[in-house]
């Protein structure tokens, strides 16, 4: 069971380590295109060396955490502008290639040694269901790049080694699931063996993606599901969960968790009640406001609801405060272990569900708004 953070490290209060040393940097195509080839190579080499050092530091941060918190999503810009023609030839230079291969191999070995689950998540432009042939071509190239990173880390060449995966959204609604299948068929076997797909807030909900369960694993985003359904806090014993779990074919699933902002209403939301989507709409809030992520996992009711899902899936926390927010959930999990780890988390759902309640948490305080 693991709880993970995504891409960027935020210093905890009192931690004097500079954030710049722990976080990866990027550049732009325009910046690289202004340079002569030798200068461009030098610039990219400096960025890559810094990024590898920062990624190694993030992996060490995860390795130093308790086993429950050894899960990390790697930012996509490990190799800045790698797939663009203006930069791609530079990456074939021996100095850059050696730095990449040796650096990522060492990072991957350390992650495997420490039992850290790693993932990547290309940007939302990277889609397989699209009516734009150029967009699909670009997406295939982008997914090949992410697979290459995973291969250098020693996490490719099989079905989701150590739970590693590259996660994308469904894409455009128009081409539908069959459009996704056609795009999926364009991918290499290595990429297909690493790819996952998550439900979204507006285009593809969980029910839309279930027909893909025989093709690739489904990442259940709990907050997206709440937004898409306009209010359902899905239970861990929901029949659809079995399909999601089975789609991973023996690998432990991974899901996403986030919370809406606590300041949606004047005076804030009740941290001991699950947010009520319909009540927020009735209060005049547009749906787009509910989709925004909070800084921290401030809502104790959401945390305890999520712990019920931790019994069957690892969770990456998507929040602006990154590792601080994932630690919020880990602390809630540790506080909920009184009756045994898995049973304590499952116990977060043992109260009645009548009237749309999402269940009582291990402290007994969870209530539906």
Euclidean distance between CA atoms 113 and 115, whole angstroms: 6
Which DSSP symbol is given to 73? E
Q: Which band of pLDDT confidence, cut at 50, 70 and 90, is reported for residue 365?
A: very low
Tokens of 232: 């359902």
Euclidean distance between CA atoms 350 and 1, whole angstroms: 20
pLDDT for res 81: 97
Query: pLDDT tens for residues 27-51?
Result: 999 999 999 999 999 999 999 999 9
Contact of 76 with 26, CB cutoff 8 Å: no
Topology at the third CATH level for domain 3-368:
TIM Barrel (3.20.20)
Annotated domain spans of the chain = 3-368
As beta bridge partners, residue 368 has 274
Closest residue by Cα to residue 7 from 48, 50, 51: 51
Query: pLDDT tens for residues 239-294?
Result: 999 999 999 999 999 999 999 999 999 999 999 999 999 999 999 999 999 999 99
Q: pLDDT above 90 covers what percent of the chain?
A: 90
pLDDT for res 360: 40
What is the rounded average pLDDT for all residues in the chain? 92
> Is the confidence at residue 180, as pLDDT, over 80?
yes
Query: pLDDT tens for residues 309-348?
Result: 999 999 999 999 999 999 999 999 999 875 454 454 444 4
């Amino acid at each position: 069971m693991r709880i993970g953070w995504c891409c960027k490290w935020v210093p905890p209060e009192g931690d004097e380590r500079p954030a710049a040393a722990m976080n990866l940097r990027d550049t732009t195509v325009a910046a690289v295109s202004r340079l002569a080839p030798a200068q461009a190579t030098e610039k990219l080499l400096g960025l890559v060396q810094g990024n590898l050092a920062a990624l190694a530091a993030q992996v060490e941060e995860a390795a130093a955490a308790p086993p429950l918190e050894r899960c990390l999503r790697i930012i996509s810009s490990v190799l800045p502008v790698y797939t663009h023609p203006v930069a791609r030839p530079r990456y074939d230079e021996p100095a850059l290639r050696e730095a990449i291969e040796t650096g990522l191999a060492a990072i991957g070995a350390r992650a495997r040694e420490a039992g850290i689950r790693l993932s990547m998540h290309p940007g939302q432009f990277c889609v397989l269901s699209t009516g734009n042939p150029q967009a699909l071509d670009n997406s295939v190239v982008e997914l090949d790049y992410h697979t290459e990173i995973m291969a250098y880390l020693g996490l490719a060449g099989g079905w989701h080694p150590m739970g590693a995966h590259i996660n994308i959204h469904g894409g455009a609604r128009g081409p539908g699931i069959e459009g996704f299948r056609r795009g999926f068929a364009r991918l290499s076997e290595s990429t297909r063996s690493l790819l996952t797909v998550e439900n979204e807030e507006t285009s593809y909900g969980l029910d839309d993606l279930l027909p893909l369960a025989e093709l690739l694993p489904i990442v259940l985003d709990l907050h997206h599901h709440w937004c898409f359904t306009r209010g359902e806090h899905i239970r861990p014993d929901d029949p659809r969960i079995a399909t999601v779990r089975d789609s991973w074919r023996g690998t432990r699933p991974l899901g996403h968790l986030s919370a809406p902002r606590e300041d949606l209403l004047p005076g804030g939301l009740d941290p001991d009640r699950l947010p009520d989507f319909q009540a927020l709409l009735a209060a005049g809030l547009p749906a787009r406001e509910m989709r925004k992520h909070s800084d921290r996992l401030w809502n104790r009711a959401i945390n305890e609801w999520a712990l019920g899902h931790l019994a069957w899936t690892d969770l990456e926390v998507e929040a602006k405060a990154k590792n601080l927010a994932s630690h919020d959930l880990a602390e809630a999990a540790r506080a909920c272990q009184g009756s045994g780890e898995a049973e304590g988390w499952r116990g977060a759902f043992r109260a009645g569900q009548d009237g749309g309640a999402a269940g009582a948490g291990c402290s007994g305080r969870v209530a539906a708004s």
